[in-house]
Amino acid sequence: SQQGEEDPQALSIQEGENATMNCSYKTSINNLQWYRQNSGRGLVHLILIRSNEREKHSGRLRVTLDTSKKSSSLLITASRAADTASYFCATLSGGYNKLIFGAGTRLAVHP
């Protein structure tokens, strides 16, 4: 079963705008990770935030985590056409280092 649920399912913006994607999950977690997938390719890790962290930055990425609401957000600032991809959140589950992925947000950045 899915753990994370992203919203929106699809997002279309212009270059230079910010893109915000949200993820909600159901059970307690050790950490939450965000991955990117370009069309027809594998997933690439973007950022990991631990359950005791509230915010984390990496370049143009900002991730927040609210464990009381069981939700996370990924903000991409000053978006570029190359940011066009699907973005997935993933959480640990089951104590076996098993990552459970959400359905993803498909981001389209138009030049």
Partner 1 sequence: NAGVMQNPRHLVRRRGQEARLRCSPMKGHSHVYWYRQLPEEGLKFMVYLQKENIIDESGMPKERFSAEFPKEGPSILRIQQVVRGDSAAYFCASFTGSGGTNTGELFFGEGSRLTVL
Binding residue for partner 1 (CB under 8 A) from 2, 18, 27, 58? 2
Of 33-41, 56-64, 65-73, 77-85, the window that binds partner 1 (rule: CB under 8 A) is 33-41
Q: Kindly state the smallest distance separating residue 101's Cβ from partner 1, in Å.
A: 4
Residues 74-93 that bind partner 1 (CB under 8 A): 88, 92
Look up residue 2 and give its two tokens.
Answer: 């899915």
Q: How far is the CB of 16 from partner 1 (least distance, A)?
A: 27
CA 101 to CA 45: how far, in whole Å?
Answer: 12
- Whether 32 and 56 have beta carbons less than 8 Å apart is answered as no
Strands 5-7 and 19-24: antiparallel
How many residues are listed for the chain in this entry?
111
Q: Rounded CA gap, 72 and 23, in Å?
A: 5
Name the site residues for partner 1 (rule: CB under 8 A). Answer: 2, 30-31, 33, 35, 41-45, 48, 50, 88, 92, 94, 96-104, 106
